[in-house]
Amino acid sequence: MEDIEQRERLMEDVNMAGATSQQGQVNAQTQYYLQEQERGMAESQLECETTLTKLYHQLMQDIPIINNQGDIEWKSITDEKKRRLTDDGVYRIIELISFYVNKENLLSNFNEDQINGIMLRFRKAFSANILMRYKLYFRQPNFKECKEIFENRIKDKTTIKMFAGEMSGLKLDETEERKKLLFEYEDRIEYELNKIKEEKKKEMLSEFELLFEQLSQLVYATLNRAWKGEERGSIRRHTNISEIIGARPQQQQEGGLFSKWGRK
């Protein structure tokens, strides 16, 4: 009888050891999963390349397209005349913004005065640089574009003159009317082309204020995430929670095991 009881106890010990080992493996797998999840969360939280890539495409005025997989693809703008910024201008802006939008700044510890000081210096330096080097940033219309605009204006004036003649009951020759208009501009075609170029330049520069505010807001939002070390504090809190959750099942299991041995 005593041998049977010893065998039963031995079997219980073996089963308990197996259960403990199995639970240990489960705990290890759970902890690994939580650590990987936490690492992915931290990397995602500090990842700035997506923001900079999106900004690049927006500055290039690329068009976002949803593909069959549901992902966003960027399609280049087809009409170059609608481009506001030059390629060099876009590259310079991305280079500049990357000095502010990065994980080093996100993990910094700024107070309100520091953030305000950085923003003031950024806005002064950036606005001065753009205004002094606007030809680098903003695309200038070439001769072909100005010529096309001038020809369209002559065409529109001719159409209006033909319509006015029609309303007055006059029979006008469109080719002749166009020649008359061109003759009027004969001595000042170069002036008109330069005037068109200046108009287009002012049109491009009118985008400056909005662009300036958008980029300032992006930098300001990034700096605010580092206010009083809030970003790294957020990551630390997530890490602590994951460690507690990962450790809890093992502690609970050990408590139950010791209680069972105590009852024995």
Predicted confidence (pLDDT) at residue 147 exceeds the cutoff of 80? yes
Average pLDDT in the 186-195 region? 86
Q: What pLDDT is recorded for position 24?
A: 54
Specify the higher pLDDT residue, 37 or 220: 220
Alpha carbon distance 222, 102 (integer Å): 8
Tokens of 56: 């690049």
Alpha carbon distance 238, 202 (integer Å): 50
Predicted confidence (pLDDT) at residue 59 exceeds the cutoff of 80? yes
Predicted confidence (pLDDT) at residue 132 exceeds the cutoff of 70? yes
Q: What pLDDT is recorded for position 104?
A: 86
Q: What pLDDT is recorded for position 4?
A: 61
Q: What pLDDT is recorded for position 252?
A: 46
Alpha carbon distance 192, 157 (integer Å): 14
Residues in the chain: 264
Alpha carbon distance 151, 193 (integer Å): 10
Tokens of 8: 């039963």
Phi, psi of 148 (to 5 degrees): -65, -40
Q: Could you read off the pLDDT of 158-174 as tens digits, one per residue?
A: 888 888 888 888 888 78
Q: For residue 13, what pLDDT band results from cuts at 50, 70 and 90?
A: low
- Lowest mean pLDDT of 42-51, 137-146, 249-258, name the range: 249-258
What is the residue-averaged pLDDT of the chain? 77
Tokens of 253: 């299991």
Phi, psi of 56 (to 5 degrees): -60, -50
The domain segmentation of the chain, as residue ranges, is 143-201
In sequence order, what are the beta bridge partners of 138?
85
Predicted confidence (pLDDT) at residue 237 exceeds the cutoff of 60? no
Alpha carbon distance 24, 11 (integer Å): 20
Count of Cβ atoms closer than 10 Å to residue 219 Cβ: 21
Q: What pLDDT is recorded for position 81?
A: 84
CA distances from 49 to 44, 103, 154, 186, 220 (A): 10, 10, 48, 54, 17
Average pLDDT in the 82-105 region? 92
Specify the higher pLDDT residue, 66 or 255: 66
Predicted confidence (pLDDT) at residue 42 exceeds the cutoff of 80? no
Alpha carbon distance 170, 153 (integer Å): 23
Own/partner pairs for 42-49, CB < 8 Å, 24+ apart?
42/235, 42/238, 42/239, 45/106, 45/231, 45/234, 45/235, 46/103, 46/106, 46/107, 46/231, 46/235, 47/103, 48/98, 48/101, 48/102, 48/103, 48/106
Q: Give the residue carrying structure tokens 């639970």.
A: 23
Which amino acid would we find at residue 118? I
Q: Could you read off the pLDDT of 96-129 as tens digits, one per residue?
A: 999 999 888 888 888 999 999 999 999 999 999 9
Q: What pLDDT is recorded for position 176?
A: 85
Q: Does the global pTM surpass 0.75?
A: no
